[in-house]
Amino acid sequence: MKTKTAFVLTRCLYFLVTLTVTIAVLPPSVVCQTSRSHNVTVTVNKVTVIAVNPPAINLDIPSGPTAVVIAGVDQMTVTDQTTTLLWGTNSASTKITISSTTLATPLFSLQAVALSPSTGSPQTVTLSTGDQDFITNMLPSSGSVSVRYTGIALASAGEGTDTYTVTFSIIGI
């Protein structure tokens, strides 16, 4: 009995010593809960991105479903509304411009217009090599809009094929 009590007391003493030593060697923050701080710098740069789908379309006169050919009329037209333009911008004011490659002797002309974009003012553009405003005064936003192309050919110009590379650019002002 005396031996058992001594054993228990010894174990308790051993625990207390161990606990005391542990507390003595722990970092002050663990024991005393002192607060610390540092600076974090956050930045949001101007972001303007754009994409177009599909990558290629064909306008066909007179086989296209929207082709208009009238006997006695020189001008023939065809339209396409399968293109989707997608954008994202956080700039206070943004515009999208449009341009096309130079064709040495174009037979036909090409017009484009954005159909009711959710922000900004659309412009009907006859494509040329220089950048032209396509959608202006856009607010910070993201979205998509359908683009209607109109191909215009004159019967007096004959038959043939014109291929344009159309470039859409988004510019945060």
Partner 1 sequence: MKKLTVLTAILALSLFAFQSAFSQSANQTVTIEVQPVSKISVSGPVSLVINDAVPGQDPLPVSSSATSYNITHNSSTAGKISASINSALPAGIKLEITMAPVLGTSAGKQDISSATTAVDVVTGIGLGKGSNQTITYDFSATLAAGVFASTVKTVNFTVTN
Chain residues that interact with partner 1, rule: CB under 8 A: 48-52, 54-63, 69-74, 76, 78, 83, 85-86, 88, 100, 107-108, 110, 149, 151, 153-171
Output 10 or 58, the one with its CB closest to partner 1: 58
| Least distance to partner 1, CB of residue 172, Å | 9
Output 101 or 121, the one with its CB closest to partner 1: 101
DSSP string, 12-37: HHHHHHHHHHHHHHS-HHHHH-----
Element (H, E) at 101: none
| Least distance to partner 1, CB of residue 121, Å | 20
Output 62 or 124, the one with its CB closest to partner 1: 62
Q: Torsions phi, psi of 6, nearest 5? A: -65, -40
Output 29 or 82, the one with its CB closest to partner 1: 82
Contact by Cβ (8 Å): 44, 54: no
| Least distance to partner 1, CB of residue 19, Å | 38
Return d(Cα 99, Cα 30) in angstroms, integer: 65
| Least distance to partner 1, CB of residue 24, Å | 40
Contact by Cβ (8 Å): 46, 136: no
Contact by Cβ (8 Å): 113, 138: no
